Chain A
Amino acid sequence: NAGVMQNPRHLVRRRGQEARLRCSPMKGHSHVYWYRQLPEEGLKFMVYLQKENIIDESGMPKERFSAEFPKEGPSILRIQQVVRGDSAAYFCASSLGRGEADTQYFGPGTRLTVL
């Protein structure tokens, strides 16, 4: 019974390159959340998606960041032209979408380092 999977676990990019982070939700889950964690900080919400739809992207930076959750395949968080400040751990969580009592299950995260 696989949990939420994320890959790669570690990603190193040089400034100006693109970073693609993948998230496969738990089986049967159609709701995906992305969060970012800076060192010694809590997780900060970025974006919430359901299959093929972005529901809430209020936590996403306005430029360079995008997310998708296609009908088939994993959810992708894409960061274009990365800068040093993008270095962080990025977590996705999936859920069944049961309203206020919904439980989010987190993946192990992708640790992005920008050189």
Chain B
Amino acid sequence: GQQLNQSPQSMFIQEGEDVSMNCTSSSIFNTWLWYKQDPGEGPVLLIALYKAGELTSNGRLTAQFGITRKDSFLNISASIPSDVGIYFCAGPNYTGANSKLTFGKGITLSVRP
């Protein structure tokens, strides 16, 4: 089946620093999604990317859909303590009307004040 790879498993940064996370796949995705999960909560959609090469921003977040459609990255600029959480990339395995999502294992981000 389709798999999304995220590494490293954890990242530690200082408040105010920028951080970049990567997500790769062995197969093509037509949509890339980035979610954030806070402890004890469900994933919240941060950014959705629909076209190869697309660069999209949402406040301090920027994400790009790779040209090959096999990778994406998420940048967080000027990190703040509330950026702490788990960041997942995901892509829909679209078959007809079914858009079930495949998730990466996530990257746990810690921000030191």
* Interface set of A (CB-CB < 8 Å, partner B): 4, 6, 33, 35, 40-45, 48, 55-56, 59, 91, 93, 95, 97, 99-109, 111
Contacts and interface: CB of A to CB of B under 8 A. Distances in A.
Contacts of A108: 40-42
B105 A33 contact: no
A52 B64 CA distance: 38
B35 to A, nearest CB: 8
Contact of A99 (B40, B45, B94, B101): B94
Nearest to A58: B100
Contacts of B104: 42
B45 A105 contact: yes
A23 B41 CA distance: 14
Given A44-B103, A99-B99, 15 more contacts: A35-B103, A42-B105, A42-B106, A45-B100, A55-B97, A56-B95, A97-B97, A101-B31, A101-B48, A101-B50, A102-B99, A106-B35, A107-B42, A109-B41, A111-B40
B88 A43 contact: yes
B43 interface: yes
Contacts of A97: 97
Given A40-B105, A101-B50, A55 B42 contact: no
A105 B101 CA distance: 12
Contacts of B105: 40-42
A108 B43 CA distance: 8
B62 interface: no
14 contacts: A33-B101, A43-B90, A43-B101, A43-B103, A45-B101, A59-B100, A91-B42, A100-B31, A100-B94, A101-B50, A104-B45, A105-B45, A106-B44, A111-B40
A8 B103 CA distance: 24
Nearest to A46: B100
B92 A100 contact: yes
Nearest to B104: A42
B42 A48 contact: no
A43 B45 CA distance: 14
A46 to B, nearest CB: 9
